[in-house]
Amino acid sequence: MNYFSTLTASVIPNPTPTVPDEARGLLTVLNWASGIGLVLGVLGVIIVGITMVIQLQRGEGGQSLAKLGWVLLGCIIITGAAGIVRAFV
């Protein structure tokens, strides 16, 4: 009989990941990089908003909407970086 067909659900292990002590510094750097990236993303949205107001006063319309899209796309990539990497690993 096949070995895998004899296993029950209670035998399947459910490991909990642990971070080795050597990687704690790397996790600190990654947390700082993520936080700085998100702060810069918020700053970018504010700058694009100010630019949109100035362009509206000049009558140039919504030419900076593309810039806002790029900034928001960057924020999405920063916040979803762990999930993106986890999908490929």
pLDDT tens track for 73-82:
988 888 888 7
User: How far from the centroid of its chain's Cα atoms is residue 87's Cα?
Assistant: 13
What whole-number distance in Å separates Cα of residue 52 and Cα of residue 68?
Answer: 9
pLDDT at residue 43, rounded to an integer: 92
Below-50 pLDDT ranges, the chain: none
pLDDT at residue 75, rounded to an integer: 87
69 phi and psi angles, rounded to 5 deg: -60, -40
pLDDT at residue 14, rounded to an integer: 74
